[in-house]
C-alpha cells in the first residue's frame, strides 16, 4: 500500500531516523484509527488521499509522544507574528532531543556541521591551527597542540593556553566550543580575534586564517636503539602513517619504542585496534558492553604477527578514548609499561551516522568498552605504572622529542633503556 510521511510529526521523526516510511494522515484520522483498532495489535484508517494505512499500536503511541511538538509547530503556523524558518525549528528540536540523553558525547549535527566533522577527519581546513581539549567537568578548553607552521604558532599561541574568548562576545566553554571553532574558521586571509588565558593573564591575538594541514604522527630515533612516535589524534590515515613510521624506526635498528599519547583526545576506535594489532598476537584490543549488559568480543579483534619491540606508553590527563583503548590493550597484552599521569577516563564509544536526506548526522554513545583484561576505563582513567608529573612552571613549550626539558619523556626514555639492558 502507498506510504507517505506524517505531516509535522513525521518530519521530526524523519530527521532523527526514529521511523521511516510513515503514513500521512490527520490527527483526527489517527484518533479514529486508534479507536478502530480496539484491543488488536494494529490499527487502520484512511488517510487524506483515500489510501488505507495500517500501523502498529506501538507506532501510534510513538506518534502520540510527539504530539506536543506537533502542537508547537501548528501554533507557530497559526499564530506567530511573522514568517519563520520551519527547518530551523526542526533542527533545534533534533538538537534538543539528543540533549535529553544528558550525555555530552551524544549530539545532532546539521548538514554543515556534519560536513565539517568529516573535513576535520581529512586533516585539511582553513583556520588558525590548534587542537583543543575540552574538559566537561571544569568546562575549560585548553590548547593541547599548536600545529607546525600554523597561524597560531606564528602568533605565539602556546600549548596549555586556555581558549577564553573568540571575537568580542563569545566566552568559550566546553558546551559552546563548536561555535568558537566555527568562528575561528572562515575565509583564508581574513582575521579573527582570539583571547587566551595564560597563567591567569588575558592575552588577545589577532590571527589571520589560512589553510592548515594536520599531521597526526611524528617520529624519530632517540638513540641507536630507542624509537619515538608522538601520536596526536586517531583520525585521517593515522593508522597507516603510524605503521609507516614504525617500520622506518625498526629499519633504523629500534629495539624499544616510546609511544607518546599525551594530549591525544582519541577518535576512531578501529584505528586504535589497527595500531594495537601491530604489537599483539591473536586476541582483542577491547571488548564492548551494550545496554542490558550484552558483551561483544567480536568487534575489535587482533591477529597473530607482531613487531619484535619493547614498549613504553606515555599518557597524561588529556589522553582519552582511543588513546586509552590502545594503552589498555598494549599494557594487558603486549607487556607495555605505562608512564605519566592518570588518563582522562572516557571509556565509552560513539557511533556516527547520517540521518534524514539533507546531509545531517548524529553522534551517539552506544557502548562502554573494557580493556582485554576486563578493566572499565570510563570515569576511572588508566593509572600509569610509573607516575611522573610535569613541574608546576612547565608550560609544555618544548621542542619535539626534547629529552633535555620534557621530564615525562625523559622518564619514559630512561625506563625504556632499563628494559633494554
Average pLDDT score over residue span 265-285: 97
Residue 102 confidence (pLDDT) = 96
pLDDT tens digits, one per residue of 57-68 = 888 888 888 888
- Whether residue 18 is predicted with pLDDT greater than 70 in this model: the reply is no
User: Could you please report the per-residue DSSP string of 85-99?
Assistant: -HHHHHHHHHHHHHH
For residue 370, count CB atoms less than 10 angstroms from its CB and return exposed for 0-12, middle for 13-18, buried for 19 or more.
buried
Read off the pTM: 0.76
Three cell numbers, residue 116: 565539517
Any bridge partners for residue 365, and if so which? 350
Residue 158: Cβ within 10 Å count: 15
Rounded CA gap, 327 and 311, in Å?
Answer: 10
Per DSSP, the three-state class of 245 is helix
Residue 125 confidence (pLDDT) = 83
Mean pLDDT taken over the chain: 87
Whether 42 and 95 have beta carbons less than 8 Å apart is answered as: no
Per DSSP, the three-state class of 115 is helix
In the block, residue with C-alpha cell 573494557: 370
Alpha carbons within 13 angstroms on the beta-carbon side of residue 49 total 10
What confidence category does residue 4 fall into, taking pLDDT thresholds of 50, 70 and 90?
Answer: very low
- Strand pairing class (42-46; 52-56): antiparallel
| Dihedral angle over CA of 156, 120, 166, 346, nearest 10 | -90
pLDDT tens digits, one per residue of 152-209 = 999 999 888 999 999 999 999 999 998 999 999 989 999 999 999 998 899 999 999 9
DSSP helix, strand, coil percent of the chain (3-state; round to 5): 30, 25, 40
Three cell numbers, residue 167: 571575537
Whether 298 and 267 have beta carbons less than 8 Å apart is answered as: no
User: Could you please report the per-residue DSSP string of 304-326?
Assistant: S-----EEEEEE-TT--THHHHH
**Residue ranges of domains in the chain:** 9-96, 125-213, 217-419
Rounded CA gap, 265 and 13, in Å?
Answer: 32
Share of the chain above pLDDT 90, in %: 72
Considering the segment(s) 125-213 as one domain, its CATH architecture is Roll (2.30)
Rounded CA gap, 266 and 268, in Å?
Answer: 7
Three cell numbers, residue 416: 625504556
Residue 42: Cβ within 10 Å count: 13
Give Dmax (Cα) for the chain. 84
Residue 31 confidence (pLDDT) = 39
Helices (H) and strands (E) in the chain, counts: 12, 23
Any bridge partners for residue 228, and if so which? 220, 258
CA distances from 49 to 3, 20, 57, 389 (A): 11, 19, 22, 71
- Strand pairing class (287-289; 360-370): antiparallel
Residue 222 confidence (pLDDT) = 98
Three cell numbers, residue 75: 501554533
Q: Give the CATH number of domain 217-419.
A: 3.90.226.10
Whether 408 and 391 have beta carbons less than 8 Å apart is answered as: no
User: Which candidate, 283, 316, 359, 393, places its Cα nearest to that of 109?
Assistant: 359
User: Which candidate, 363, 378, 368, 379, places its Cα nearest to that of 105?
Assistant: 363
Rounded CA gap, 128 and 125, in Å?
Answer: 9
More confident site: 357 or 36? 357
- Whether residue 324 is predicted with pLDDT greater than 70 in this model: the reply is yes
Rounded CA gap, 64 and 157, in Å?
Answer: 53
Write the DSSP symbol of residue 359.
Answer: T
Amino acid at each position: 500500500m502507498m506510504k507517505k510521511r506524517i505531516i509535522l510529526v513525521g518530519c521530526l521523526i524523519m530527521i532523527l531516523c526514529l521511523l521511516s516510511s510513515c503514513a500521512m494522515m490527520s490527527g483526527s484520522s489517527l484518533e479514529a484509527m486508534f479507536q478502530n483498532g480496539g484491543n488488536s495489535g494494529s490499527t487502520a484508517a484512511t488517510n487524506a488521499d483515500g489510501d488505507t494505512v495500517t500501523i502498529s499500536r506501538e507506532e501510534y503511541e510513538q506518534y502520540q509522544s510527539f504530539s506536543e511538538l506537533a502542537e508547537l509547530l501548528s501554533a507557530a503556523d497559526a499564530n506567530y507574528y511573522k514568517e519563520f524558518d520551519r527547518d530551523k525549528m526542526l533542527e533545534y528540536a533534533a538538537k534538543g532531543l539528543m540533549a535529553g540523553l544528558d550525555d555530552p558525547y551524544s549530539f545532532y549535527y546539521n548538514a554543515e556541521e556534519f560536513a565539517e566533522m568529516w573535513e576535520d577527519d581529512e586533516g585539511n581546513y582553513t583556520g588558525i591551527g590548534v587542537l583543543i581539549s575540552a574538559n566537561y567537568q571544569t568546562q575549560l578548553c585548553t590548547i593541547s597542540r599548536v600545529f607546525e607552521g600554523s597561524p597560531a604558532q606564528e602568533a605565539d599561541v602556546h600549548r596549555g593556553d586556555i581558549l577564553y574568548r573568540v571575537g568580542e562576545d563569545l566566552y568559550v566553554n566546553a558546551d559552546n566550543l563548536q561555535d568558537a571553532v566555527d568562528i575561528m574558521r572562515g575565509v583564508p586571509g581574513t582575521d579573527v580575534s582570539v583571547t587566551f588565558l595564560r597563567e591567569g593573564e588575558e592575552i588577545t591575538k589577532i590571527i589571520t586564517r589560512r589553510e592548515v594541514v594536520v599531521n597526526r604522527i611524528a617520529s624519530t630515533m632517540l638513540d641507536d636503539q630507542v624509537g619515538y612516535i608522538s601520536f596526536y589524534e586517531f583520525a585521517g590515515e593515522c593508522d597507516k602513517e603510524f605503521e609507516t613510521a614504525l617500520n622506518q624506526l625498526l629499519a633504523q635498528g629500534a629495539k624499544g619504542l616510546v609511544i607518546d599519547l599525551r594530549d591525544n583526545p582519541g577518535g576512531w576506535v578501529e584505528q586504535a585496534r589497527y595500531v594495537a594489532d601491530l604489537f599483539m598476537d591473536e586476541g582483542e584490543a577491547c571488548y564492548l558492553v551494550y545496554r542490558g549488559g550484552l558483551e561483544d568480543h567480536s568487534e575489535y579483534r587482533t591477529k597473530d604477527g607482531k613487531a619484535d619491540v619493547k614498549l613504553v606508553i606515555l599518557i597524561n590527563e588529556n589522553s582519552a578514548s582511543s588513546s586509552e583503548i590502545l594503552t589498555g590493550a598494549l599494557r594487558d597484552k603486549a607487556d607495555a609499561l605505562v608512564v605519566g599521569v592518570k588518563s582522562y577516563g572516557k571509556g565509552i564509544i560513539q557511533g556516527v551516522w547520517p540521518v534524514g536526506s539533507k546531509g545531517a548526522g548524529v553522534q551517539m554513545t552506544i557502548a562502554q568498552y573494557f580493556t582485554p583484561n576486563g578493566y572499565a576505563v570510563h570515569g576511572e582513567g588508566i593509572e600509569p605504572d610509573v607516575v611522573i608529573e610535569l613541574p608546576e612552571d612547565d608550560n609544555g613549550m618544548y621542542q619535539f622529542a626534547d629529552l633535555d626539558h620534557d621530564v615525562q619523556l625523559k622518564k619514559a626514555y630512561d625506563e625504556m633503556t632499563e628494559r633494554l639492558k
